[in-house]
Amino acid sequence: GQQLNQSPQSMFIQEGEDVSMNCTSSSIFNTWLWYKQDPGEGPVLLIALYKAGELTSNGRLTAQFGITRKDSFLNISASIPSDVGIYFCAGQLGGSARQLTFGSGTQLTVLP
Amino acid sequence: DAGVIQSPRHEVTEMGQEVTLRCKPISGHNSLFWYRQTMMRGLELLIYFNNNVPIDDSGMPEDRFSAKMPNASFSTLKIQPSEPRDSAVYFCASSLTGRFSGANVLTFGAGSRLTVL
C-alpha cells in the first residue's frame, strides 16, 4: 500500500515563529489534505488541495500540492499558543475517502 | 450542524467485557468510517460503509470486532470480548461521496477513548 512520510515528528518553537512541515510519498495522489488534532479531539480539516502545484491559504496557514503529486507542505506563519496540536497530512488517490492514507503526524508545541 | 457525534467519550472496562461504541454521522453524508488511533500505529481504517452497506472491512483486526449501520444516522462498533490491546481512541468519520468541491472529505467525531484493563 501507499506510505506517507511526514516530517518532522515533533517541533518545539517559540510563539511568533514560522513553522513548516511536509509529507512525501512513493506514489502519486490526486488530493492532499491537512488536518489538525487538538488534545482529546478528533482531526479537523485545515486545507484541501486538489491540483498539482496548487497553493492554498487559510489565514496564517499555507499549503501546497507538490508538482510531482508525491509531496505536500504546510506552513504556519507567526505561530500562537493555540496552534499546539498534532498536524496530519493525508493523501487520496481515488474519488473516495476510503482511499485516504494518513501520515504519522507532526506534534507541534508552541512555547510562550 | 452538530457534526459527527460519538459516544461514549471515555470507556474503561475489564478484559472480556463487551464494548459498544456509537456514532451519529452528519446528516446527509452517505459514507461512514471507523478508525482506530494508537501511538504505535497512528490512524488505522477499520471499516467503511457506503449508503449503510459495509464496503470494506479489511481493516477490522479480528472476529472480536464487528460494526453495523442499521440506518443512515447511526452506526455501532462492537468489541466482544475486549482485550487490553484494544485500548485506543476510536474515531467515527463521515463524508459525502461525489465529484464536487468538498466531496469525499472526512469529518471526524471527537472520538471514544477506550481503556481495557
* pLDDT tens digits, one per residue of A59-96: 999 999 999 999 999 999 999 999 999 999 999 887 66
Q: Is residue A11 a contact partner of residue A76, using CB atoms and an 8 Å limit?
A: no
CA distance to partner chain A, nearest, from residue B70 (Å): 20
Interchain contact, A48 vs B102, CB within 8 Å = yes
Interchain contact, A42 vs B33, CB within 8 Å = no
Confidence of residue B101 (pLDDT cuts 50, 70, 90): low
Confidence of residue B1 (pLDDT cuts 50, 70, 90): low
Is A1 a residue whose pLDDT tops 70? no
What values do phi and psi take at B9, rounded to 5?
A: -75, -35
* B53: its cell numbers: 452497506
Interchain contact, B107 vs A45, CB within 8 Å = yes
Selected residue of A51, A100, A101, A107 to mutate for chain B interface (largest B Cβ count, 10 A): A100
Confidence of residue B21 (pLDDT cuts 50, 70, 90): very high
What values do phi and psi take at B84, rounded to 5?
A: -55, -35
Confidence of residue B104 (pLDDT cuts 50, 70, 90): confident
pLDDT for A3: 76
Q: How far is CA B50 from CA B71, B75, B79, B95, in A?
A: 11, 12, 21, 10
Is B103 a residue whose pLDDT tops 90? no
Q: How far is CA A58 from CA A48, A63, A76, A111, B109, in A?
A: 10, 9, 10, 23, 22
* B48: its cell numbers: 467503511
Q: Which residues of A touch B42 (CB under 8 A)?
A: 102-105
Interchain contact, B33 vs A48, CB within 8 Å = no
How far is A105 from B64, CA to CA, in rounded Å? 29
pLDDT for A97: 66
pLDDT for B100: 67
Fill in the DSSP letter of residue A67: T
Stretch A86-110: mean pLDDT: 88
SS3 B86: helix
How far is B20 from B8, CA to CA, in rounded Å? 9
Interchain contact, B108 vs A98, CB within 8 Å = no
Confidence of residue B62 (pLDDT cuts 50, 70, 90): confident
Q: How far is CA B57 from CA A72, B18, B45, B71, in A?
A: 29, 20, 9, 18
| Cβ count within 10 A of residue B28 | 10
